Amino acid sequence: MAGDTRGTAKAKGKGSSAGKPAVKAATEVEDPDAGRVNLVVVVGEVSAAPELRELESGRRLAALAIRSRGADGRATSVPVTVWEPAGWVEDLEPGTEVVVVGGVRRRFFRTATGTSGTRVDVEAAFIGRAGQRRQLDGAMRRVEAALEALMP
């Protein structure tokens, strides 16, 4: 999730100013994801009551759709997965405005008939009701930290 901080640490080579190639210390490793971030912020209304599921592992999830408007005014429905949702998330009603901070995930699955499928959604690291300043401040700190990690 937006809680994903992979790619925030960068290996720094040691070199001389004489134009010789940089030599890395034995413990330093190049991170192929350095400089990349999977960060999504969605603000919008809940389209329908969350679909609640309990997996065989015992983990719970809430699947919901957030209707959000782009700069052009067109609405789009964004599927969101919330792992181990708080009670208030389970009780969300259509029309409730929320803020979601997370990352894009592509999931692969098999249906009951044995065919395979995929689904792309936002895996929430944070969800809060719009208008709840304290919750939203925490979300903004997460977003700012993820973006700050991209700066050299």
In CATH, the architecture of 40-148 is Beta Barrel (2.40)
Dihedral sign for Cα 40, 118, 45, 125, please: negative
**For residue 2, which of 127, 114, 117 has the smallest C-alpha distance?**
127
Q: Given this model, what pLDDT does residue 20 score?
A: 40
Helices (H), 16-100: 87-90
Domain spans in the chain, listed from the N-terminal domain onward: 40-148
Q: What pLDDT tens digit does each residue of the chain (152 aa) get?
A: 444 333 333 333 334 344 444 444 444 445 555 556 788 889 999 999 999 999 999 999 999 999 999 889 999 999 999 999 999 999 999 999 999 989 999 988 888 899 999 989 999 988 988 887 777 787 778 778 877 877 76
Q: Given this model, what pLDDT does residue 146 score?
A: 75
Measured CA distances, 5 to 23, 57, 102, 142 (Å): 26, 26, 12, 10
The pair phi, psi for residue 90, each rounded to 5°, is -60, -25
